[in-house]
Amino acid sequence: METNKLIRFTNPETLPPTFGYSHVVEVRNARTIYISGQVALDKSGQLVGAGDMSAQTRQVFENIRLALEAVGLFFKDVVKLTFFMTDISQMKFVREIRDQYINTQNPPASSAVEVRKLIREDLLIEIEAVAVAALDPQ
């Protein structure tokens, strides 16, 4: 369990063991940032990694990184990730990329959902994120 002024990650002993996520993330006295589901499109709107889950996942995490930077935050500030995948059996590859971005010692709470398709047929994964930051001084 990590404790700081804003975020506490907890995995109660009464719940099953986790594999790359935290069961509970508590946030106190912070502003919340919601990042819309990101897909594997680059700045110009072009698909990155046609048919390649790892390449698409990397582009998605890069898009999330850029969204976080736009509000002065980093992956350490992410408290929740939601994965939408057209083939959940590819989760191993997604985790390998995810672990290059998140704090694996205190990973965000997460959900993974297999979906029939995303907004475009060539997209394999979409990830949305929730991050927290200190309240702005007023």
Instruction: Give me the pLDDT at residue 137, please.
Output: 63
Q: Is the pLDDT of residue 5 over 90?
A: no
Instruction: Give me the pLDDT at residue 1, please.
Output: 40
Mean pLDDT confidence for 80-95: 98
C-beta of residue 138 within 8 angstroms of C-beta of residue 73: no
- Indicate yes or no: pTM above 0.75: yes
